[in-house]
Amino acid sequence: MTDLKGKVAIITGGSRGVGKAVALKFAEHGINVAIGAKTVTSTDKTPGSIHETVAEVEAKGAQALAVQTDVRHEEQVENLVNRTVDAFGRIDIVVNNAGAIMFLPVDEMPVKRFDLLMQLNYRAPYVLCHYAVPYLKKQSVGHIINMSPPPKIGVLAADDWNNKTCYLMSKFGMSHLTMGLAEELRGHNISANSLWPKNIIDTQATRVFAQMLHANKTIDWYSPEMLADASLEIVKSNAAELTGQTLLAENFLAQKGITEIEKYIVNSPV
């Protein structure tokens, strides 16, 4: 899938942060992008919008589609898929990026917040894949990327279970989806991989939850560009050879010859 020009990607949570960075990186390589996210108007609390991302994608020469989507709702996810196919006639790449973060012990986590974690991190990627996979199968090759950690303790936001049981239930479930899809789709030349950083990425969400992530000026923060570059390397890879993996972005980039991780360091926002 090295020749990416004209391919089509669906990216959730693409109005800002990692999702937007992935969309712009894909656009630089000729991939057309459908942006699914809730934000249609930028505000101080939620800077960026699906329309702003689309404009920036188009400025890079690719085609783009903005579809307001709350991924908690099946009918909106199905609409995102249908609108993408109507606009571009195909789907080659799915990036499940939209998500939620909350660290609280089980007895303190409100059921409503638990449900939100499960809806966004666990259920929504399944729903998008459920509706998008039939179209991926029509192509000769495809890729699914889930932004989720290796299903074991030891990395950012999954360094221990304490106060994170609910969150990790949702994110590890997403990684299990990766491994299951990889086996189900192996015969169709469609890869499914998870991608996760070892270091903290500067996004609106991590700024809000910096205290939960023990993030301050004593640690390095990294640009979303790091995950964008890693996502590009995934879709450039042979789908039959790279699938069912839960990749750590820094390690994966190094394997691809991108060893200067320091270039992604940004000033601490907190």
**Active site residue ranges:** 167
Contact assessment for residue 199 and residue 251, using Cβ atoms and an 8 Å cutoff? no
Instruction: Estimate to the nearest angstrom the gap between the alpha carbon of 57 and the chain centroid.
Output: 17
Measured in degrees and rounded to the nearest 5, phi and psi for residue 218 equal -85, -10
R_g over Cα of the chain: 17
Query: What CA–CA distance (Å, rounded) separates 138 from 247?
Result: 26
Write b or e for each residue in 72-90: b if 16 or more Cβ atoms lie within 10 A of its Cβ, otherwise e. beeebbbbbbebbbeebeb
Query: With helix as H, strand as E and coil as C, how does 189-235 read?
Result: CEEEEEEECCCEECCHHHHHCCCCCCCCCCCCEECCHHHHHHHHHHH
